[in-house]
Structure 1
Amino acid sequence: MELTLWKRWLLVGVAASTFNAAAWAADKANVVILATGGTIAGAGASTANSASYQAAKVPVDKLMLSVPELARVARIRGEQVFQIASESFTNSHLLQLGKRISALAKQQDVDGIVVTHGTDTLEETAYFLNLTVHTDKPIVVVGSMRPGTAMSADGALNLYNAVVVAASRDARGKGVLVTMNDQIDSGRDVGKGINIKTNAFASQWGPLGMVVEGRNYWFRAPVKRHTMSSEFDIDKLDQLAPVEIVYGYGNVPASLYEAAAAAGARAIIHAGTGNGSVADRIVPTLQSLRGKGVQIIRSARVPAGFVLRNAEQPDDKHDWVVAHDLNPQKARILAAVALSQFSDSQNLQRVFWEY
C-alpha cells in the first residue's frame, strides 16, 4: 500500500509543532521512496550491534518517520516493493523493480525516485537500472552499513542525502546515482569494497560529487551511455539471459566452466586473476565452449584497473570479449541485458566499451 509521510504523521499523532508547513509548499519536489529491505531496514539486538543484526525488518513508513527532516526537502511518499536482504535479489526482482521505477518516472507528479536497498548487491541493481530505465529524472539507490538500531547508524543521513539528490534538478540527466557516506557516485562505477565500515562504497574513478548539509556539490559527470541514451529499455525487457560467473584461482578446474555451460549459461564471466588471466589448462575448455556458442567474457577479480583486450590472451583469435573496467558482477548484469537483445560477440564487445 502506498503511504504518504503526511498521512502517517497524522495517524501516529505527531505534534503539530514538528510539522514544517513550508515543506509542503508548491515548489517542493515530489519524491517516491521504494523500499526493498536490506540493512537500512535492519534491526540489531542492542545499540552495540552494528555488524550483527537482522536485515529487512523495518517497513518503509517507519523508515520515513525515523528521518522527519525529509519533509523539509520534498513531498515524500513510500512504497514497500520488497522486504528482503539484497543477497536474495534475483533477475526477477531486478525486472519488477525496474518496471515499477519506469512507470513512476513517467508520472508528472514524480520528480525523483529513491530506492532503499541492501548493500550486498546494491551496485548490481544500480547498474541494471542505469542500463535500462529511460528517464532523466534522478534515480538514487541508497543503503546503510549499520542498522538503524546501532548507536553509530549511518542510514538516516544516507537516506536524507538520497532524498536531497532525488529532489534536485541538478541531479537530472546524470544516470542512476548512489548516495553513501556523503558521496554521490555513479551507479555504473560504484562498488562495495569492505563489509564492516561506513565508507564501504567507492569508485576507482572517484565520486561524481558530495552532499554536505543538504546541498549537492558536483565535480564530474558520467561519460558512458546510460538511461535516456541506452539502447536497452526496461519496458521491453521481460527476461534476462542466463549468465554465470566462474572465479579464477590457482587450482581452478575446467569442470566449473563446463558445469555453467551445461546449466544453460549463454555467457560465462571469467573472473580472472590480474588482467583477467586464464590458466593455460583452462584455455582449451573456454575455446571449446565458445565454439558451442557460449560467450566468454574476461573480467578480473582484482578491485581496480581494467582488462586490456588482446593483452593477456588473443581475444580476437578466440572471439572472446573483455569486460573493460566492469567487475565480474556488473559484467554479468550487462551481459544478461545485452544478450536478451542480440547474440553476436562484436555487439557484445561494443556495449562493454560504451556502457
Structure 2
Amino acid sequence: MFSLKSSLGLFALCSIAFPVADAKSSCKSSQPGLPNVTILATGGTIASKASSNTQTTNYQVGVGIDALLSAVPEICNISNVSGMQVSNVDSASINTTILLELTTRVKAELADPTVHGVVVTHGTDTLEETAFFLDLVVNSTKPVVITGAMRPSTALSADGPLNLYQAVKLAASKTAYARGVMVSLNDRIGSAFTSTKNNANSLDTFHATEQGQLGFFIDQVPKFYSSPSTPRNKPQFDVTGQKSLPAVDILYGHQESNSHLIRASIESGAKGIIFAGVGAGGWSLDGLKSAQRAYNQSGIPMVFSRRTNDGFAGGDSIYPFQMTSGFLNPQKARVMLQLSLNAGYSNDEIRKMFEGQ
C-alpha cells in the first residue's frame, strides 16, 4: 500500500503490486541512514506499454508512477523513495502548464531539508528541453536528475528500470551536489545545459559531443570525471507564480525556405523567433530582408541558431537586428529566449545574454 506523504499527493514506496506477476514487494517507508529521493513522473516511453514484448514503436503512454516503482523494488535498498504523477503524456505534449507545475514541485521538494534529491521521469524526445528549462529556473545545489527510456516498459531488455535505478542512485549520491540538473540514461551522466538527443532510436542517444559527459555508472555507482563546475555565463531565472510564458517559435532553414512564415509566426502570437539556420546560422538573403521588415514593425527578438547537430552560431551578422545563439541549439535557444522575455529583458539584454553563450 502507499501512504500519503503530503497534500501535494506524494506517496511513500511501501508495498507495491507487480502488474504483470501479480506479486507484491515490501520495503519500509523510511529507513534511517538512507537518503530521501522524490520521483516526479511526467510520462514518456518509460511509462509506456506495447502489444508485445518485441514491439518498440507505436506504443501507448499510460503506465503510472506506482507501476514504474514496482518494476524496480531494488530502489528501496538505496533510498527512501517518494513519487508523484505530475502528468502522463508523451514528451511532445509537454507544455508550459506542465513545465511550470513540474518546476513548482521540484523546488518544493528541494526546499524540504529532509529531501536529498529529485528524479524526473520524462519522454526522451523533448527531455533535453525540460532538463534545460529546469537547469535555468531551479537554483539549488541538491541533485536534480532527468531520466527516461528508449524502449517501452513491455519490451525485451527494457531500459527504463535500470535508468530509473541509476537516476535514484545519482540523486542520492553525495558526489552529485552542485552539478546543476543532470541527464542520466544508458550508464551515462550528462549536463542538462549541454546534453542533446542525438539518435531517434538508439539506447545510447544522449551526448554532448563537443563538451563531453559528466560521468558514468560503474556497477551502478556514479563516477564523475571532474569536480563540479558551472557552464560559462549560465543565467538563472525565476518563474515563481507564473501561469504562462511568452510564445517563441522556431523556423527551420533550408533551400527556398518560405519567408512568409516569419510574418505568420508573429501574427499568430510569437513574441520571439529562433531561426534554425543552415551551417553556422545562415539564412537566405530574401529571408533576412523579410525578417528585417518584420522586426522593424514588431521589434521582437530574432535569434539565429544552427540546424547542424553541433557548432557555434555567431560572428558578424548581415543586419543589426540579428542575434546569435552561440553554442545553444535551436530548442535550447528557444527555452532561454522564452525565459528572458518572461523576465522582461530588453533586446539589448537578450543579445548580451546570448553572446555570452
Q: Aligned partners of 1:103 and 1:237: how far apart in 2?
A: 15
Q: CA contact under 8 A between 1:224 and 1:354: conserved in structure 2?
A: no
- How far 1:174 sits from its partner (Å)? 0.7
Q: Aligned partners of 1:100 and 1:348: how far apart in 2?
A: 28
Task: Name the residue aligned to 2:268.
Answer: 263
1:2 counterpart (10, 13, 22)? 10
- How far 1:281 sits from its partner (Å)? 0.8
Task: Name the residue aligned to 2:216.
Answer: 210
Closer/same/farther in 2, CA of residues 222 and 239 from structure 1, 3 Å limit: farther
Matched, 1:174 2:179: yes
Amino acid at match of 1:169: K
- How far 1:15 sits from its partner (Å)? 5.9
User: 1:96-152 deviations in whole A, cap 9, x for unaligned?
Assistant: 111111111111221110000011110000000000012111110100000111002
Closer/same/farther in 2, CA of residues 15 and 241 from structure 1, 3 Å limit: closer
Which residues in structure 2 correspond to 1:1-355 (within 5 Å)?
A: 1-8=9-16, 14=24, 19=27, 24-54=30-60, 56-204=61-209, 205-220=211-226, 221-224=228-231, 230-235=235-240, 237-291=242-296, 292-310=298-316, 313-314=317-318, 317-354=319-356
Amino acid at match of 1:6: C
- SS of the equivalent of 1:281 reads helix
Q: Aligned partners of 1:309 and 1:126: how far apart in 2?
A: 28
- SS of the equivalent of 1:92 reads helix
- How far 1:7 sits from its partner (Å)? 4.3
Amino acid at match of 2:222: N
Aligned length: 343
Closer/same/farther in 2, CA of residues 6 and 173 from structure 1, 3 Å limit: same
Amino acid at match of 1:210: F
Q: CA contact under 8 A between 2:36 and 2:115: conserved in structure 1?
A: yes
- SS of the equivalent of 2:251 reads strand
TM-score scaled by length of structure 1: 0.91
- SS of the equivalent of 1:111 reads strand
Task: Name the residue aligned to 2:6.
Answer: none
Q: CA contact under 8 A between 1:133 and 1:234: conserved in structure 2?
A: no
Closer/same/farther in 2, CA of residues 240 and 271 from structure 1, 3 Å limit: same
Closer/same/farther in 2, CA of residues 64 and 84 from structure 1, 3 Å limit: same
- How far 1:309 sits from its partner (Å)? 2.5
Q: Aligned partners of 1:302 and 1:136: how far apart in 2?
A: 33
TM-score scaled by length of structure 2: 0.91
Q: Aligned partners of 2:304 and 2:356: how far apart in 1?
A: 16
Q: CA contact under 8 A between 2:259 and 2:287: conserved in structure 1?
A: yes
Q: Aligned partners of 2:229 and 2:25: how far apart in 1?
A: 44
- SS of the equivalent of 1:8 reads strand
- SS of the equivalent of 2:49 reads coil
- How far 1:64 sits from its partner (Å)? 0.4
Q: CA contact under 8 A between 1:266 and 1:293: conserved in structure 2?
A: no
User: 1:203-248 deviations in whole A, cap 9, x for unaligned?
Assistant: 121111012222111114443269xx84312325443221111101
Which moved further from structure 2: 173-182 or 258-267?
258-267
- The answer for unaligned runs of 5 or more in structure 2 is 1-8
- How far 1:279 sits from its partner (Å)? 0.3
- SS of the equivalent of 1:146 reads coil
Q: Percent identity?
A: 34
Amino acid at match of 2:184: T
Q: Aligned partners of 1:35 and 1:85: how far apart in 2?
A: 11
User: 1:287-321 deviations in whole A, cap 9, x for unaligned?
Assistant: 122223111100000001111221xx33xx51321
Q: Aligned partners of 1:95 and 1:25: how far apart in 2?
A: 32
Higher helix share: 1
Runs of 4+ in 1 over 4 A off after TM superposition: none
- SS of the equivalent of 1:194 reads coil
Closer/same/farther in 2, CA of residues 128 and 100 from structure 1, 3 Å limit: same
